[in-house]
Structure 1
Amino acid sequence: MIKIYHNNRCSKSRFGLKILENSGKEFEIIKYLENMLSAKALKDIITILKIKPIDLVRKNEVIWKENYKNKTLTDTEIINAMVENPKLIERPIIVNGNKAVIGRPPELILDII
């Protein structure tokens, strides 16, 4: 089943959700700010996305700028930062089996659904 890791306060995430709704396909909404992801779940998503953990970080977030910017962090430390501060996670993330995209721009979602 398709999953969308969603933040309703984000316009790109809302637009991504609309794309899924309009697709007519079944999907699951995961509100990752309310139901925090485990480090393992985040690692799995990063693996499917085929990116490095740092590429999933919202680097303009105040939390990142104040606590992590300009520090040398391991992948594990970056993942732990996102687990502890889920606002740092880029959104929306759409996972469909062994394919995934960050919906920025949201039209990328069409490539995997």
Structure 2
Amino acid sequence: MTDRVRAPVRGHLPTVTVWHNPRCSKSRTAVELLRAKAKVEIRRYLEDAPTADELRALLAQLGRPAIDLARHKDAAFHAAGLSRDSAQEALIAAMAANPALIERPIALYNGRAVIGRPPEDCLSLLP
């Protein structure tokens, strides 16, 4: 028996889901980095908006509060009447109603998730 970790066989690459906005350079970079090491399933979250329950599940996978998932420096965040002190459920409801408020990219694999800021952080999910 060996202690070496084998590289994934080409046909048996891990499959990573990415909540992706193709107009975002960071999101495009994350997808490109992941495709070199994994199969990538794309969820265009602006068109296929997550529900509040999906956002709660994502936050559990991230292990982070809702404010970390929100684009809190974006003008739309403040226009929605939100602040860094907004309640968790208010942030979740706002992101479900307006997915443009969600930070991107987000990579999900094997029950864990990361926000790809910087995009290289997405690689930390892979075995």
TM-score calculated relative to the size of structure 1: 0.92
Pairwise mapping of residues 46-61 of structure 1 onto structure 2 (< 5 A)? 46-61=59-74
Worse-superposed segment, 59-68 or 4-13: 59-68
- Cα distance in 1 for partners of 2:56, 2:117 equals 20
Counterpart check, 1:78 vs 2:91: yes
How many residues align? The count is: 112
CA RMSD of the aligned region, Å? 1.4
Q: Which has the higher helix share?
A: 1
Pairwise mapping of residues 1-113 of structure 1 onto structure 2 (< 5 A)? 1-23=15-37, 25-70=38-83, 72-113=85-126
Alignment identity in percent? 37
Q: Which runs of 5+ in 2 are unaligned?
A: 1-14
- Cα distance in 1 for partners of 2:83, 2:35 equals 40
Deviation at 1:45, TM superposition (A): 0.6
> What code does the residue aligned with 1:18 have?
E
Bigger RCO of structures 1 and 2 (CA < 8 A, at least 6 apart):
1
Contact 2:17 2:109 in 1 (8 A): yes
